Amino acid sequence: MKINASKQKVLEAASSLFFQKGFHGTSVRDIAEKASVNVSLISYYFKGKQGLLEYAVTHYYENYLTVIEETIEDVKTLSPLDQLKELIFHIIQYKQSNHQLSCFIQRELSLDSVFVREMAVTYLAKENYYIRNLFFTLIKDQKKNEDDRNYLLMQLKGMLITPYIMHNEWKNQVVGSYSHDVFVNKYARNIQQWLDFLSKTNTTVANQNTPR
């Protein structure tokens, strides 16, 4: 979803301030000053701070789902393991490239914030559908019951959001575009190694169950 330059400036300013000061601690005037635009422009485009928040969250998630859907389409000829590895990389890359908004949204979701939860619920259901399908294909075997699979899925989803809930743990290590790229590669690789372990375990179990 492409937006014009003025909207983009306001969106970036709002993301930064929401991240630093929270939604309620940020005024429309604060956003206008940081974006170097007139307050009336924010009212014209977004109908106020609440409208800006809703636009920011919608824009974030629509682009996020586009990344997921395009990645799944691009890698559909690969093995389930490699498909999921590629998807994990692009998810972390997207979240990291929108780091401040990712952190703000996760913080609000962890607080059960009504205004973000209502905006995000549909998008999160779609995200869960795509990740769940790929992940369950990878770990499918006779030994794992529904609870086992759901616990493992919960671990995977937890790894995808942890850097944006515990962002203070990384604030001194990720300070520029290069360090963001390094973080994406290293963190995605760690999750991919976990997937390798699950895949090998799954293969071992399958081999043990194969009649000789």
Domain ranges, ordered by start, for the chain: 55-209
pLDDT of 144 > 90? The answer is: no
* Of 37 and 143, the one with more pLDDT: 37
How many whole angstroms separate alpha carbon 128 and alpha carbon 134?
10
Average pLDDT over residues 23-36: 92
Residue 14 · residue 56 · CB < 8 Å: yes
Average pLDDT over residues 192-204: 80
Query: Percent of the chain, pLDDT > 70?
Result: 86
Question: Does 1.10.357.10 match the CATH number of domain 55-209?
Answer: yes
DSSP 3-state of 141: coil
Average pLDDT over residues 156-185: 80
Nearest to 141 by CA among 188, 80, 82, 212: 80
pLDDT at 211: 45
pLDDT-based confidence at residue 174 (cuts at 50, 70, 90): low
pLDDT of 208 > 60? The answer is: no
How many whole angstroms separate alpha carbon 123 and alpha carbon 61?
6
pLDDT at 172: 56
Please report the sign of the dihedral spanned by the C-alpha atoms of residue 106, residue 107, residue 108, residue 111: positive
Average pLDDT over residues 41-66: 92
pLDDT at 143: 62
How many whole angstroms separate alpha carbon 144 and alpha carbon 165?
30
- φ/ψ (deg, to 5) at 75: -110, 15
pLDDT at 154: 95
What tokens were used for 54? 């809703």
Residue found by looking up tokens 């369950």 in the block: 136
- Mean pLDDT taken over the chain: 86
How many whole angstroms separate alpha carbon 83 and alpha carbon 71?
8
How many whole angstroms separate alpha carbon 50 and alpha carbon 29?
14
pLDDT of 96 > 80? The answer is: yes
